[in-house]
Structure 1
């Protein structure tokens, strides 16, 4: 097999109904791969698969709630049946964002919701698919984390905690699979132009701020995906697709205390005067 695992892959992509997941599905198909497009929104997954097949590619849609282990096991069974064998690439991408409130203010139901998708999703994906790939002796796993995994920000604890854990999961799995023929890559972007803000649970203020930042500095999911797949092909454990992500990684590694103090000062002088005022803001309840 080619050392370029992203080419002619038998790929499973979660959260493939939109954003980065859809971009992964399309790019892998364009590289000659067969793609199982998985999403909790079956219609969205089907739309991605339909676009790929209408362009001459090979894709199928499978509904999967990654927070449920039985759904992920079923995804693995259906994927292997369609591939007539094991997958060669698994992209644990499904994710949501929660933000705008400090620790102690963010509802525990939001913690549970985000942990179920952002953390248990990749855990389930790795738990089910890593043994399959190890047995096959070839393939790769890409876990979509975030620059928030190492560059935590005030009012974004729920999201940062889940993504930090995904990064740790990826590093550990990469070490465990070293020498088995299976590569693991953690994708850590900053702002990417997707619908994650609209589908997240955010205060209005945070949603507006995030939307502006995404519009001003965000890059396309297609560009992020291409960089990630190329990094994965080279055997890279980390992919920082933007300059600010690369700089942030180095700063937080070289001067973590300075970084945290600087964040604290910014938060102190920019935070709303009343926590109660934040509680009163309408927040989206649409899951992604």
Structure 2
């Protein structure tokens, strides 16, 4: 039986790279793709020391041609793929009245359509393989409704809905689909963040620093999700509690809890 083959978008840093390291340590063949070519070339050596048959490809998820080129390379080099992780994403914070349409288009193109393009490029490889795993990285923002994050929340909610739909659609193909929904954790999400709220960068840094989980912890939960074929991964306990409150409390009670938590 050949080692598992995994492709990870946004795989040169943060959660994507943490997952790549775990997969390589497990003996999986790893392909990381990222638009940051300099970063990708800098880190691929550390993966190849763990699993020699790992490689990096520059790729921008806003271009379907880039993803199709990766898919063709995976077919030529590995004759297919077993695990696809759509991880690339960006953040946007701001009141809806102060968030430009161009910012909406920017975040939708990456967070939602980037995942859609990844699905369209890589699902045929999983179908040809007779099954596999499709992991879409969303966020607790896709399950909750924190104010001043309408664009980000909407894209991540769409990724959750897309994943749920594909779970049904791809079941006959023996393709396991999961949505990963972490809360804030220490990553480079703020690096390309667009915000029109003063001091948001510092607040985001504080939220990420306060997390009890890091990128490696989240990556471990994704590995378990693949192993157990779970539909959702909610790594943070506080996030799970908030989701349960939203689902089971009257809306007015939940909103009071949310207001206190976000003051």
| Number of the residue aligned with 2:127 | 134
The list of structure 1 runs, each at least 4 consecutive aligned residues, that deviate by more than 4 angstroms after superposition, is 263-267
Deviation at 1:249, TM superposition (A): 2.0
| Number of the residue aligned with 1:91 | 85
Q: Distance in 2 between matches of 1:82 and 1:146?
A: 32
Say yes or no: does 1:108 pair with 2:90.
Answer: no
- Gapped regions of structure 2 (runs ≥ 5): none
Q: Distance in 2 between matches of 1:256 and 1:179?
A: 37
Q: Is the 8 A contact 1:190 1:218 kept in 2?
A: no
Q: Distance in 1 between matches of 2:73 and 2:65?
A: 12
Provide the TM-score with structure 1 as the length reference. 0.85
Question: Which of 205, 210, 225 is residue 219 of structure 2 equivalent to?
Answer: 225
Cα displacement string for residues 121-167 of structure 1 (whole angstroms, at most 9, x for unaligned residues): 11011112122212321211100000000111111111111100000
Cα displacement string for residues 60-95 of structure 1 (whole angstroms, at most 9, x for unaligned residues): 110111011111111111122221x11111100000
- Gapped regions of structure 1 (runs ≥ 5): 3-7, 271-288
Say yes or no: does 1:15 pair with 2:15.
Answer: no
Structure with bigger helix share is: 2
Q: Distance in 1 between matches of 2:126 and 2:237?
A: 32
Deviation at 1:226, TM superposition (A): 0.7
Alignment of 1:1-288 (within 5 A): 8-83=3-78, 85-99=79-93, 101-202=94-195, 203-255=197-249, 257-258=251-252, 261-262=255-256, 265=259, 270=263
Q: Distance in 2 between matches of 1:32 and 1:214?
A: 30
Q: Is the 8 A contact 2:28 2:51 kept in 1?
A: no
Provide the TM-score with structure 2 as the length reference. 0.93
Q: Is the 8 A contact 1:16 1:48 kept in 2?
A: no
Q: Distance in 1 between matches of 2:53 and 2:124?
A: 25
- Residue 189 of structure 2 aligns to a residue whose secondary structure is coil
Q: Distance in 2 between matches of 1:14 and 1:259?
A: 39
Deviation at 1:261, TM superposition (A): 2.9
- Residue 190 of structure 1 aligns to a residue whose secondary structure is coil
- Residue 183 of structure 1 aligns to a residue whose secondary structure is strand
Deviation at 1:264, TM superposition (A): 7.5
Question: Higher mean Cα deviation, 42-51 or 233-242?
Answer: 42-51
Q: Is the 8 A contact 2:245 2:254 kept in 1?
A: no
Q: Distance in 2 between matches of 1:164 and 1:14?
A: 19
